[in-house]
Amino acid sequence: MDTELLGKGVLVTGGAGGIGSALVRAFAGEGAKVAVHYHRSQEKAAALAREVGGTSVRADLTVEADVDALVPAAVKDLGRLDVLVCNTGVWPAPDEPVWQMSLERWRRTLAENLDSVFLSCRAFLRHVATTGTGNIVIISSTAGLFGEAGHTDYAAAKGALTSGFVKSLKNELHRIAPLGRVNVVCPGWTAVDRHRDKLDDPKFVGRVTRTMPLRKVGQPEDVARVVVTLASDRISGHVTGEVVTVAGGMEGRVLHEG
């Protein structure tokens, strides 16, 4: 099916990462012009941009001035900007229950996973206000749906995106873009580099997939295809404010004995 994304401008935050690079390639495969955002991964972002014929743009998404400059830079390089994919997120590795968690970590995690999305969406919507059209897809996490012990900070940030943020934004967006849409995608366990050592262990995979009827680990491309579908006005033009889980049917309960 023709997604009608040919020639559209797409900005992918965190575009040089595991899911991010799959997103960039998926949009480029549909003929879109893609801006690969990065913070520290300049070489990876530049290489990926060259590969897909796009551009790379830098910003620290927790710094207001950086984000405010990001969208104009993407528009300048691409010539237009129609879609924002908020993919950037940071999962703090240490397992810390609430009673041991510092306020500094809590605030940092919320800044990296929630403030960053607010600032990115705000910058993009200021552009949308001048064009009257635009579409946002936000990458959240199953942690925001089911919680994650030892990472309450991360789960709280992701949970905010899947509930109050997207539900409110969908009802504001029509004020500046009558057909503008915003949706959220929640990946579960996905085979990205930061999980590589764990996912090479069959026992670990067996344990984490006990809550999933489709007992396998997702691939970045699984997430990317869903995001492209939601970004397409032709395919998903009547879908907004929704949360789509890409996690093999994951539930908050054990479905398999072992």
Active site residue 38: no
Distance CA 91, CA 156 (A): 12
Helix (H) or strand (E) holding 96: none
Phi, psi of 63, rounded to the nearest 5 degrees: -110, 115
Annotated active-site residue in 154, 156, 177, 231: 154
Report the interhelical angle of 116-131 vs 64-78 (nearest 10°): 40
Q: Where are the beta strands (DSSP E) in the chain?
A: 9-12, 33-38, 55-58, 83-86, 135-139, 181-187, 243-246
CB atoms near residue 116 (< 10 Å): 25
CA-CA distances (angstroms) from residue 171 to 83, 164, 220?
Answer: 18, 11, 30
Point out which residues pair with 38 in neighbouring strands: 58
> Per the structure block, which two tokens stand in for 44?
């990876």
Residue with tokens 């899911």: 19
- Catalytic annotation, residues: 154
